[in-house]
Amino acid sequence: MKDRVQMFERKDHGGFTERYGSWALIAGASEGIGAAFAQALAGRGMNLVLVARREVLLDRLAEDLHARYGAESRCIAGDLGDPGFLEKLGSSMNKIEPGMLVYNAAYSPIGDFAGMAAPDLMRVVDVNVRGPLTLLNMVLPFMSRRRKGGIVLMSSLAGNQGTPRIAAYAASKSFNRVLAEGLWYELKEQGIDIIACFAGAVRTPGYVDAAHKDAPGTLDPGILVEKTLAALGHGPLVVPGVVNQMAYWIMGRLLPRTTAIRIMAGSTKDLVASSKADH
């Protein structure tokens, strides 16, 4: 019976593995959006390299992916904010050359910028900026040689304008959006698709801890992932969810920038100061 379930659930959506290969690397895979990407890609026939700090959660996810889809997983526990770990990650994959990269890891200290410690601010740079740059530099030679590949960088509606109380995080997410846009043009002639997912509120454990209630347009992780994968190959940016698309357009195109910043300040004023997303 288990084999039949695996055969039923594991489908290659539109030749997904032919288009991108048999292995995907997911950074920030332990729960929430990263785990949802792992489920979706395993369901499309891919094997996974799962990277995050919490080894127990990675192992549990790998067992579930194997039971449901027959997917092979390599779990690599480590801190994506540690430059030393990033440098060693390639050799830890045992010569696997991923055809898909999902960079979901993020660090978001909450509170007034002036009251933050310098190490917290530098960790934003290490996890949210250095991390994707390093992993892109690692996987793009494989993809360029094969002339195929797929890349998802998680950005945020917070990066559409300055966002008080998460100012450093928002700035780093703007970086990822602009990075994806530039690479989209550079890489498209090589058969490599890249997209930045401009996410709104998503029901992840970190969001629930920080916000305690849903914001307008809040999505389940699985819905966000499916919409993002469907958009891969169709441009450098996706904004999942109708409410979020409206917010992106209104805040970024119609309102004065100062007004958009004030609106974002209202949405972040009640975030819990001690909460940080860091997968």
Note if 103 is an active site residue. Answer: no
Tell whether 113 is covered by a domain.
yes
Q: Which residues of 11-37 are buried (b: 16+ CB within 10 A; e: fewer)?
A: eeeeebbebbbebbbbbbbbbbbbbbb
Residue type, 131: G
Given the residues 103, 107, 173, 276, the one annotated as active site = 173
Comparing 271 with 83, the larger pLDDT belongs to 83
Weakest-pLDDT range from 78-82, 212-216, 236-240:
212-216
- The range of the structural domain enclosing residue 173 comes to 2-268
Q: How many angstroms separate the CA atoms of 233 and 237, rounded?
A: 10
Quote the pLDDT of residue 252: 87
Cβ neighbours of 101 (radius 10 Å)? 25
Tell whether 62 is covered by a domain.
yes
Host H or E run for residue 193: strand 192-199
For residues 13-21, give the mean pLDDT: 84
Q: Which residues of 200-234 are buried (b: 16+ CB within 10 A; e: fewer)?
A: bbbbbebbeebbeeebebbbebeebbebbbebbbe
Contact at 8 Å (CB) between 193 and 153?
no
Say what the pTM is.
Answer: 0.89
pLDDT of 149 over the 90 cut: yes
Tell whether 273 is covered by a domain.
no
Comparing 6 with 134, the larger pLDDT belongs to 134
For residues 188-215, give the mean pLDDT: 76
Q: How many domains does the chain have?
A: 1
Tell whether 227 is covered by a domain.
yes
Average per-residue pLDDT for the chain: 89
For residues 54-68, give the mean pLDDT: 96
Given the residues 169, 185, 207, 276, the one annotated as active site = 169
Q: What angle do CA 15, 220, 126 make, to 5 degrees?
A: 85
Domain at 57, CATH number: 3.40.50.720
Quote the pLDDT of residue 269: 86
Quote the pLDDT of residue 214: 62
Tell whether 275 is covered by a domain.
no
Q: Tell me the pLDDT band of 213, cut-offs 50, 70 and 90.
A: low
Tell whether 274 is covered by a domain.
no
Quote the pLDDT of residue 267: 85
Both structure tokens of 257: 């920038």
Closest CA to 84 of 18, 137, 134: 134
Tell whether 210 is covered by a domain.
yes
Note if 88 is an active site residue. Answer: no
